[in-house]
Structure 1
Amino acid sequence: MSTTVNDDATAAAVSTSEETIKRWRDKKKYLWPFSLLPALAVFIAWGLVELTGSGIFWWGGFPIVFGLIPLLDVIIGDDGENPPDEVMEELENDPFYRWMTYLYIPIQYAGLGVAVYFWATGSLSVFESIGLATTVAITSGIGINVAHELGHKKEENERWASRIVLAQSFYGHFYIEHNRGHHVRVATPEDPASSRFGESFYHFLPRTVTGAITSAWELEKKRFERLGQSHWTLKNDVLNAWLMSVALFGGILIGLQALSFAGVLTDYSIWNVLPYLVIQAILGFSLLEVVNYLEHYGLKRQKLESGRYERCQPKHSWNSDRIVTNIALYQLQRHSDHHANPTRRYQTLRSFDEAPMLPGGYATMMVVAVIPPLWRKIMDHRVLDHYDGDITKANIYPPKRDKILAKYGQES
């Protein structure tokens, strides 16, 4: 009798699971090509310039990402759907989603090629050239998010693709520091990529840039020490990542100089191109760091009696579920699940009810983050509410610690 009941229960569970798989479909599946929009920014800008005859449209990248996407976020709203456990494996293995990341890379570099051509011909004004550099930076900066997605995967070809994407922004060390540094130290004072309560983005930026480089270098140095080898080798992933950028930039400049000698580029000068390559790289990795700034602002893992930090939990990352930015950033906004499951592919990331939520999508909050008074007005009370008024539990910016504790009625 008992065996029969158990068999019936098992059969019912299997039937329910199969029914769930049949019934559930990813409603966003054929919206994912929209994630390639930032990669197309240069081509969209070029098309608008040709259509209107106005060079102002070389600046088109910023209004596409920080105007159009936030507007659509407000109009369309939140996603509100998580894939059920029964479909996770099938969803992970669907090649369609992988191609949505793979395709970003050739489009990104094609856009860079178009920009280099226009810079090299000297046909743009300085104003137009800077505008084009900002649009290229949008593509390479959001491309770092593609590198982030691929760099967490187990497949060697995807990890190499991640480094190729990072070469354009000269930020290849991110591959090492993020995976082996940030994911270990996230939401602690020791993490250069976790911003602190009271710290403006402009204080955070130099700290995180220098901290990321130092961290990546130390991680590789320790790795080679464990192997009993010198870290001064091309096997050092920091050095070979930087050399990829040197090869990319050097190859572009040498190739252009050769075309100049051949008479193909009559007005070419290295100063027509090099400054704008530098601008797009700096702006590109700065876009990444704006995202880093908002992902963990003020959040802190508490120390246990053992002296170790508590494990990373959903409460240690700021999330958003705005559907348009979810698509544009490969669901980076479901950040708590990413930290819980770093190798999980973007299409299977879930939204957690217990995770702290931002009032807007990441694309919107990136704009807010670069305006410190507005950021503090919107975010500081949310951090305080998250800790039920006990600001001592937050990750506080040390130079302002006494002032912050006094403001919120806490003793130092």
Structure 2
Amino acid sequence: MSDLRFLVAWLLPLLAIYTVLTMPDYTALATLAVWWSIALLDALLPGGHTSPAPIQPAAGAAYFRTVLRLYVPLHLALIAAGAYAALRADWPAVLGIAFSVGFITGSQGITFAHELGHSKSKIDRFCAWLLMTSVCYGHFMVEHYRGHHPRAATHDDPATARFGESLYRFLPRSLWGSLVSGWRLEAQRIGQLHSSWARSPLLWSTAASLMLIVAPALYLSAPAAMKIIAYLVAQSIIAFLLLEVVNYVEHYGLQRKTVGEGTAARREPFGMMHAWNADHVVSNSMLANLQRHSDHHMHAWKPYPTLAALPGPRLPTGYAGCILLAMLPPLWFSLMHPRLQALRRSGASSASCL
């Protein structure tokens, strides 16, 4: 049963497809109900604070890879179903549909793209690019692996939230900084390999995202095109904003120390004290163990079912609840700052970004 738990990840896109097609006027409310239910289950489910132990690397590898790959057609079907519903809906419902679709494409689509992008399989990485292209955030595929992972829990990383930084101050810095860094890193790669932009997957992904947005204007009447374009843009914005809120939560206030001085100075290696973790079984099952975040950063190539719950910094609840908490900075600070102070008192290597 611990292996089958990851199949629940398919329930959310299937449920979203059903709601946008059958009750488009109420799909946003249904999505909020699902979101808050997951947060409550994480907080209140007896025994739900601990996920099953990691499996052996070779056990069921094909099955676990298939769970991720088969999400991809569900993701694309959800976006298509949302477009079909938006075309026939009133404007308030269009925005509600975009919220519902963006919630899934952001919470699960980007999470699964993240996992597939860490694979050594070309098929998996293509699927990851496809998922990120569908939410107009292709630069994630460069910045996350070549930027965020080397720099996480440092001031050089735009996706690491600093001590005392509210979500609303973090978002502009992370959105812009990640975009600029992704393109800069891709330019460096092209220069180092003596390649060309014509062979850049980032350029092709960006062009495909733009075509996805522009295409309705070429084939539909103006009123219909406006609805589809608004839907596609809004669901993308919801999706990547959700990603950035999770980024805010994952490393808030944690900082790797600098070892040495002057030109010999270097960062300490990423350790289990440099990411916030949660082991709640409901959200971990839906998010491919993403909340076992310290182990993921320390062993980036480890498949998601093999990640361990390391005894690093602990979030007050799972990501579903923490996203809600982060939206209220005074409440977030009141819960997180005592945890950071306790880490400092214990002499842990993670230090708040004071």
Provide the TM-score with structure 1 as the length reference.
0.80
Give the whole-Å Cα distance in 1 for the aligned partners of 2:25 and 2:320: 25
Is 1:71 matched up with 2:37? no
CA gap of 1:82–1:178, structure 2 versus 1, over 3 A, is same
Structure 1 unpaired stretches of 5+: 1-26, 261-266, 402-412
- In structure 2, relative to structure 1, the CA distance for the partners of 1:150 and 1:136 (3 Å cut) is same
Which residue, out of 265, 290, 304, partners 2:259?
304
SS at match of 1:100: helix
Deviates more, 1:218-227 or 1:334-343: 218-227
Which residue is equivalent to 1:29? 3
Alpha-carbon contact 2:153-2:251 (below 8 Å) kept:
yes
Which whole-Å CA distance do the structure 2 matches of 1:28 and 1:373 have between them? Answer: 37
Q: Once the 2 structures are TM-superposed, how far is the Cα of residue 89 of structure 1 from its aligned partner?
A: 2.9
Instruction: State the match for 2:56 in structure 1.
Output: 88
Alpha-carbon distance, 1:236 to partner: 2.4
1:285-304 aligned at under 5 Å gives the runs: 285-304=240-259
Greater CA radius of gyration, 1 or 2?
1
Q: Which residue of 2 aligns with 1:235?
A: 199
CA distance in 2, matches of 1:95, 1:392: 37
Indicate conservation of the 8 Å contact 1:176/1:237, yes or no: no
Helix, strand or coil at the partner of 2:345: coil
Say which SS state the counterpart of residue 5 (structure 2) adopts. helix
Query: Aligned equivalents of 1:173 and 1:237: distance in 2?
Result: 9
1:209-242 deviation per Cα after TM superposition (whole angstroms, max 9, x unaligned): 1111111111111112223455xx2222321221
| 1:41–1:60 Cα contact (<8 Å) kept | no
- 8 Å contact from structure 1 (residues 40, 108) kept in 2: no
CA distance in 1, matches of 2:236, 2:21: 23
| Contact 1:62 1:138 (8 Å CA) reproduced | no
Deviates more, 1:187-196 or 1:101-110: 101-110
Q: Distance in 2 between matches of 1:35 and 1:273?
A: 27
Match of 1:314 among 272, 275, 281: 272
Consecutive unaligned residues of structure 2, counting only runs of 5 or more, are: none
The corresponding residue for 1:97 is 64
Alignment match, 2:74? 107
Deviation at 1:206, TM superposition (A): 0.7
Q: Structure 1 94/229 Cα, relative in aligned 2: closer, same or farther at 3 Å?
A: closer
In structure 2, how many angstroms separate the alpha carbons of the residues matched to 1:31 and 1:337? 20
2:322 counterpart of 1:365: yes
**1:274-300 CA distance string (max 9 Å, x none):** 122111111110000011000000001
> In the alignment, what sits opposite 1:172?
138
In the alignment, which residue of structure 1 is the partner of 2:335? 378
RMSD: 2.2
In structure 2, the residue corresponding to 1:154 is in which secondary structure? coil
* Whole-angstrom distance in 1 between the partners of 2:349 and 2:52: 35
Alignment of 1:234-253 (within 5 A): 234-253=198-217
- Give the deviation of 1:41 after TM superposition: 4.1
Deviation at 1:348, TM superposition (A): 0.8
Of 280, 283, 298, 2:238 maps to: 283
Give, in whole Å, the separation in 1 of the partners of 2:218 and 2:27. 29
1:80 and 1:160, CA in 2 relative to 1: closer, same or farther beyond 3 A? closer
**Residue among 152, 156, 159 paired with 1:190:** 156
> Which of 118, 123, 133 is matched with 2:98 structurally?
133
**Aligned CA distance change for structure 1 residues 284 and 80 (closer, same or farther; 3 Å):** closer
Q: Is the 8 A contact 1:78 1:323 kept in 2?
A: yes
Q: 1:48–1:387: structure 2 CA closer, same or farther, 3 Å change rule? A: farther
Q: Establish whether residue 118 from structure 1 lines up as the match of residue 118 from structure 2.
A: no
TM-score by length of 2: 0.92
What does the per-residue CA deviation read over 1:192-221, in whole Å, with 9 as the maximum and x for residues that have no partner?
111101001111111011111111111111
Q: Pick closer, same or farther for the CA change 1:111–1:319 going to 2, 3 Å.
A: same
List structure 1 segments (4+ residues) > 6 angstroms apart after TM superposition: 389-393
Structure 1 residues 58, 377: closer, same or farther in 2, change over 3 A?
closer
